[in-house]
Amino acid sequence: MTGTVTVLGAGAMGSALATPLRAAGWRVNLWGTWLDDHLLDACAAGSPHPRTAVPLADGTRLFYSDRLADALDGTDVVIIAVASVGVQEVARRALPGISGSRALLLTSKGFSPDDDGRVRLLPDALRELGAEHDAELPPIVAVGGPCKANEVAAGRWTATIFGCRDRSVAEESARTLGTAAYRAGTTDDEAGVEICAPMKNVYAIALGLADGLGERHEEPFHDLKAATFAQAVRELVILAGLVGGRAETATGLAGVGDLEVTGLSGRNKVYGARIGQGESAAGALEAMTAAEQTVEGVPAARLAKDLVDQRDGAAWGELPLLAAVLDVIAGADDPASHVARAVLPGPPGNA
Amino acid sequence: MTGTVTVLGAGAMGSALATPLRAAGWRVNLWGTWLDDHLLDACAAGSPHPRTAVPLADGTRLFYSDRLADALDGTDVVIIAVASVGVQEVARRALPGISGSRALLLTSKGFSPDDDGRVRLLPDALRELGAEHDAELPPIVAVGGPCKANEVAAGRWTATIFGCRDRSVAEESARTLGTAAYRAGTTDDEAGVEICAPMKNVYAIALGLADGLGERHEEPFHDLKAATFAQAVRELVILAGLVGGRAETATGLAGVGDLEVTGLSGRNKVYGARIGQGESAAGALEAMTAAEQTVEGVPAARLAKDLVDQRDGAAWGELPLLAAVLDVIAGADDPASHVARAVLPGPPGNA
Given B157, B222, B343, which is nearest A340 (Cβ)? Answer: B157
Check residue B351 and give its pLDDT.
38
Averaged pLDDT score across all residues of chain B: 96
Closest-approach residue (CA) in chain B for A158? B223
Minimal C-alpha gap between B222 and chain A (Å): 6
pLDDT class of A346 with cuts at 50, 70, 90 = confident
Residue A99: pLDDT above 70? yes
Strand partners, A113: A119
Identified catalytic residue from B200, B225, B269, B305: B200
| Interval A123-147: pLDDT, tens | 999 999 999 999 999 999 999 999 9
The question of whether B305 is a catalytic residue gets the answer: no
Residue of B nearest to A145 (CA): B227
Minimal Cβ distance to A223: which of B151, B174, B348: B151
pLDDT greater than 80 at residue B347: no
B220/A148 touch (CB, cutoff 8 Å), yes or no: yes
Beta strands B61-63 and B77-80 are unpaired
Q: How confident is the model at residue B161 (pLDDT cuts 50, 70, 90)?
A: very high
- At B60, phi and psi to the nearest 5? -70, 130
The mean of the pLDDT values for chain A is: 96
Smallest CA–CA distance, residue B141 to chain A, in Å, is 15
Is the per-residue pLDDT at B237 higher than 50?
A: yes
Share of chain A above pLDDT 90, in %: 94
Chain A: give the shortest CA distance to residue B53, in Å. 12
Q: Count of CB atoms within 10 A of residue A164's CB?
A: 27
Q: Tell me the shortest Cα–Cα distance from A186 to chain B, in angstroms.
A: 8
A334 Cβ neighbours under 8 A, 6+ residues apart: none
CB-CB under 8 Å, B265 with A174 = no
The packing angle between helices B222-242 and B297-312, to 10°, is 50
- Of the candidates B183, B226, B237, which has its C-beta nearest A257's C-beta? B226
B277 close to B214: Cβ distance less than 8 angstroms:
no
pLDDT recorded at residue A249 = 98
Question: Which pLDDT band, with edges at 50, 70 and 90, does A343 fall under?
Answer: very high
Phi and psi, residue A104, nearest 5°? -115, 110
Chain A contact for B226, CB < 8 A?
yes
Contact assignment for A226 to B260 by CB distance below 8 Å: yes
pLDDT of residue A348: 61
Is the pLDDT score of A214 beyond 80? yes
Of A148, A174, A219, Cβ closest to residue B222: A148
Pairing status of strand A182-187 against strand B119-121: unpaired
- In the structure, what pLDDT confidence band is assigned to residue A350 with cuts at 50, 70 and 90? very low
pLDDT at A180 over 80: yes
A283 three-class SS: helix
Average pLDDT over residues A226-252: 98
How far apart CA B62 and CA A207 sit, in angstroms, is: 38
Cα separation, B110 vs B107, in Å, equals: 10
Q: Do A190 and A142 touch, CB atoms closer than 8 A? A: yes
Would you say residue A349 has pLDDT above 70? no
Q: For residues A285 and A274, what is the distance between their CA atoms, to the nearest angstrom? A: 9
Distance from CA of B251 to the nearest CA of A (A): 7
Q: How many helices (H) and strands (E) does chain B have?
A: 16, 10
Angle between helices B190-217 and B297-312 (to 10 degrees): 130
Rounded mean pLDDT, B74-88: 95
**Which phi and psi angles does B61 have, rounded to 5°?**
-95, 130
Q: Do A260 and B186 touch (CB under 8 A)?
A: no
In the A/B pair of chains, how many CB contacts fall below 8 A?
Answer: 187
Instruction: Please write the tens of the pLDDT for every residue from B14-71.
Output: 999 999 999 999 999 999 999 999 999 999 999 999 999 999 999 999 999 999 999 9
Would you name the residues of A annotated as active-site residues?
200
Strands A158-163, A140-144: pairing kind: antiparallel
The pLDDT tens digits of the residues spanning B246-283 come to 999 999 999 999 999 988 888 999 999 999 999 999 99
Quote ipTM for the complex: 0.96
Does the pLDDT value for residue A18 go beyond 80?
Answer: yes
Question: B70 vs chain A: nearest CA distance in angstroms?
Answer: 33
Task: Kindly tell me the sign of the dihedral angle through the C-alpha atoms of B253, B258, B259, B261.
Answer: positive
B252–A225 C-beta distance less than 8 A = no
Beta-bridge mates of residue A267: none
Task: Write the residue in B161, B221, B230 that is nearest to A252 by C-beta.
Answer: B230
Collapse the DSSP code of A137 into the 3-class scheme (helix H, G, I; strand E, B; otherwise coil) and give the result: coil
Does A265 score more than 70 pLDDT?
A: yes
pLDDT band, residue B292 (cuts 50/70/90): confident
Q: Give the type of residue at B290.
A: A
Instruction: Tell which A residues from 244 to 263 touch B, by Cβ distance under 8 Å.
Output: 247, 251-253, 256-258, 260-261
From chain A residues 157-176, the ones with a CB under 8 A of any chain B CB are 157-159, 161, 171-172, 174-175
- Give contacts of B226 with chain A, Cβ < 8 Å: 146, 159, 253, 257-258, 260-261, 264
Summarised one tens digit per residue, pLDDT across range A296-316 is 999 999 999 999 999 999 999
Which chain A residues are Cβ-neighbours of B146 within 8 angstroms? 222-223, 226-227, 230
Q: What is the pTM of this model?
A: 0.97
Strand A77-80 versus strand A103-106 pairing type: parallel
Find which of A187, A256, A265, A341 to mutate to test the B interface (most B CBs within 10 Å of its CB).
A256
**Are A223 and B156 a contacting pair at CB < 8 A?**
yes
Q: How far is B304 from chain A (nearest CA, A)?
A: 23
pLDDT tens, residue by residue, B92-145:
999 999 999 999 999 998 999 999 999 999 999 999 999 999 999 999 999 999
Among A151, A157, A218, which would you mutate to test the B interface (most chain B Cβ atoms within 10 Å of its Cβ)?
A157
Residue A155: CB partners within 8 Å, gap ≥ 6?
Answer: A19, A20, A23, A179, A181, A182
pLDDT for B190 equals 98
pLDDT for res B264? 81
Summarised one tens digit per residue, pLDDT across range A276-301 is 999 999 999 999 999 988 899 999 99
Q: Chain A, 331-350: which have a CB under 8 Å from a chain B CB?
A: 340, 343-349
Q: pLDDT grade, residue A229 (50/70/90)?
A: very high
Q: Taking CB atoms and an 8 Å limit, are B146 and A227 in contact across chains?
A: yes
Tell me the C-alpha distance between A250 and A271, whole Å. Answer: 24
Between positions 95 and 154 of B, the ones with CB within 8 A of A are 145-148, 151-152, 154
Which residue type is seen at B182? Y
Chain A positions touching B227 (Cβ under 8 A) are 145-146, 157-159, 253, 257
Residues in chain A: 351
